[in-house]
Amino acid sequence: MKMLINVAETVVADALRGMAAAHPELTVDVENRVIVRRDAPVAGKVALVSGGGSGHEPLHGGFVGPGMLSAACPGEVFTSPVPDQMVRAAAAVDSGAGVLFVVKNYTGDVLNFDMAAELAEDEGIQVAKVLVDDDVAVADSLYTAGRRGTGATLFVEKLAGAAADAGMPLARVEAIARRVNDSARSFGVALSACTTPAKGGPTFDLPAGELELGVGIHGEPGRERRPMMTSREIADFAVNAVLEDLRPRNPVLLLVNGMGATPLLELYGFNAEVQRVLVERGVPVARTLVGNYVTSLDMAGASVTLCQVDEELLRLWDAPVSTAALRWGV
């Protein structure tokens, strides 16, 4: 497989050096693997820290900045960051108002963030945690007990980040983050496997002419494999899988997310089909975001995330944000 890298061992460090050069508004500690908004800590403001294995960019480092995360901790490819990274990040951004850890539900992430919370509290940092577990595809997977954390991570980080920037206290920011997670569901589809730099080839076998319905962001198995389907058929399956679980009574935020190798031409066409299904099911869409945001290296495919919102959550979504990957209202 051809990859735009030097050697597999330096992929993450090289990417962080490039990110630092492109975004002077961030402080990027390449050696310790921590990305921090340059103005942190912000006096009186709750800080948000997240992280996870690299390979899902722009999650999480691309969401560091005003209106979203205060810091992010990138691990090795598809590997959880370690507690020392998380504690270092929390210490860098804590203003005394507390820190919220946003954790995707993967076993390594959960264990390491739990340990980091204990270590940070020993250093006098008040910490709260929210677990993101929005994937309806499977109940358990190779890396999780319970649902996987996927596209709703973006919604949690954006809405809780806006709440923190509005000056809300830690308990309120945590409550909003939990409400967002409880109101969001996702479903992903893979058209091809992803390729890790260390392996240099596909991480799982997906025969030509087949797709994986309900794939995880590390290539974990989904519900079933089928012969290739049209965009219309995939939208019917994915949206209905989400709505069977979510059953929204309010308008929704919609994320049509690429897995890393799907062109925008295809994603916008897929969005048209997703919107068609939602109209047919009587679900109003308040806002739509289309693009590659929670990726799986070079996997071809897409995921659909819906988040039910009320007036407060919609205001938080529309609030200004200025990060490498999301920017509006500024």
User: Would you name the residues annotated as active-site residues?
Assistant: 56, 218
Taking the C-alpha atoms of residue 303 and residue 178, their distance in angstroms, rounded to an integer, is 21
CA-closest candidate to residue 157, choices 78, 283, 46 = 46
Asked if 297 and 307 touch (Cβ cutoff 8 Å), the reply is: no
At 309, phi and psi to the nearest 5? -130, 150
CA-closest candidate to residue 160, choices 219, 241, 89, 103 = 103
CA-closest candidate to residue 186, choices 158, 150, 156 = 150
Dihedral sign (CA 113, 115, 118, 119): negative
Paired tokens of 180:
């967002």
- How many Cβ atoms sit within 10 Å of the Cβ of residue 11? 20
Taking the C-alpha atoms of residue 289 and residue 248, their distance in angstroms, rounded to an integer, is 18
| Secondary structure in 3-state letters for 236-256 | HHHHHHHHHHHCCCCCEEEEE
Taking the C-alpha atoms of residue 121 and residue 36, their distance in angstroms, rounded to an integer, is 20
Taking the C-alpha atoms of residue 48 and residue 32, their distance in angstroms, rounded to an integer, is 18
CA-closest candidate to residue 277, choices 180, 191, 162, 187 = 187
Paired tokens of 280:
């047919």
Asked if 100 and 174 touch (Cβ cutoff 8 Å), the reply is: yes
Q: What is the DSSP string of 212-228?
A: EET--TT----SEEEE-
Burial class for 249, CB neighbours closer than 10 Å (0-12, 13-18, 19+):
exposed
